[in-house]
Chains A and B, each alone.
Chain A
Amino acid sequence: MRHYTTEELDRYRNGDMNMLIRISCAGHLKQCSTCRNLLETVKQDDQLLEKVRNNLARFKAVSDEIPENKAAHHTS
């Protein structure tokens, strides 16, 4: 019995795989703690990704603010 890869489990939890493979993956997960643990890790990564996303948005918003002296220069 082969274990599922990170990508396969990531696709599984997103419902991003065909029905037959999905059913077989669900069956495997019931019996395999290794894959269940890997699936948990993949879920935990979402928290980091969300943090990075929010952070990127904050820094991007402030980076996009044009300094007033430059803004005045552009409009003059």
Chain B
Amino acid sequence: MAFTTRKSLLSKIKQGDEISWEEFYASYRPLIMLRAGDLGLKQTEKEDLVQIVMAEFFKGSRDFQYDRSRGRFRDYLKTIINNQAVSILRKRKNLEVGLDDREFILANGLEQAWDDEWQGHLMNMAMDELKNCVEPVTYQAFYLYAMQGQKSGEVAEFLNMSVNSIYVAKNRCLEQLKKIIADVSESD
């Protein structure tokens, strides 16, 4: 990414850099939990799924490196999550999952749901990335005004800025955010 010095997790994965357990956990736990919800897992099963998926990626090592010959990371991640989730569902006493994993996902219309969750994940990472691309006060103005919906006058007073500067900050962040989203979506 040309606009930031800190590499995003996604670009690290794409470039085959080492990823730490903590980094991976912080970024991917929400996505795995949301996907687990789409697949109908209960709360404890969702957490089990996070642990199993994490174990699959790290396999005893503290760091993990993505092997690009496996294809797109998003597809690889999806396959692991789906397979492990279906396997958890099969373990439930009264549930007969007669279909194979792929058929089960398709039969329940869960392919599109994954695309939506992944887009959400990218957007979330883009917001994270935005923090590294603009001045902290610019981000703060944007966050309070455009994300939390506080009034421009209140944010201006709180940050000791003019009302116009709040709008400038909002639009600067918005333009930057669009670039980041386009960039992560393109390199996805």
- Is B47 a contact of A59 with CB atoms below 8 Å? no
Given contacts A56-B127, A59-B121, 5 further A-B contacts (CB under 8 A): A45-B174, A48-B174, A49-B147, A53-B147, A68-B43
Pairwise interchain contact B120-A16, C-beta atoms closer than 8 A: no
Closest to B34 in A: A62
Nearest 4 A/B pairs, CB to CB: A7-B167, A62-B30, A62-B33, A59-B124
Instruction: Answer whether residue B152 sits at the interface, using C-beta atoms and an 8 A cutoff.
Output: yes
Q: Which of A12-55 contact B (CB under 8 A)?
A: 14, 16, 45, 48-49, 51-53, 55
The answer to whether B168 touches A7 (Cβ under 8 A) is: yes
A55 with B120: CB separation less than 8 A: yes
Q: State the CA gap A63–B50 with chains docked (Å).
A: 12
State the Cβ distance, A68 to closest chain B Cβ, in Å.
6
Is the C-beta of A3 less than 8 angstroms from some C-beta in chain B? no
Q: Does B163 contact A (CB under 8 A)?
A: yes
- Chain B interface residue count, Cβ-Cβ cutoff 8 angstroms: 26
**B39 in the interface (beta carbon within 8 A):** no
| Chain A interface residues (CB < 8 Å from chain B) | 6-7, 10-11, 14, 16, 45, 48-49, 51-53, 55-56, 58-59, 62-63, 65, 67-69
Chain B neighbourhood of A16, CB < 8 A:
152, 163, 167
* B147–A7 touching, CB < 8 Å: no
Tell me if A7 and B30 are in contact (CB < 8 A).
no
Return the contact of B47 from the options A45, A48, A55, A67 (Cβ within 8 A): A67
Question: Which residue of chain B lies nearest to A51 when distances are taken between CB atoms in the complex?
Answer: B123
Interface residues of B in 25-46 (CB under 8 A from A): 29-30, 33-34, 43-44
| Chain A residues in 8 Å Cβ range of B170 | 10
User: Is B19 on the interface with A (CB-CB < 8 A)?
Assistant: no
A55: contacting residue among B33, B123, B167, CB under 8 A? B123
Pairs A–B under 8 Å by Cβ, sample size 21: A7-B167, A7-B171, A10-B170, A11-B152, A14-B152, A16-B152, A16-B163, A45-B174, A48-B178, A52-B123, A53-B146, A55-B120, A55-B124, A56-B147, A59-B124, A62-B30, A62-B34, A63-B29, A65-B43, A67-B47, A68-B44
Bound-state CA distance A51–B127 (Å) is: 12
Least Cβ–Cβ distance between B62 and chain A, in angstroms: 20
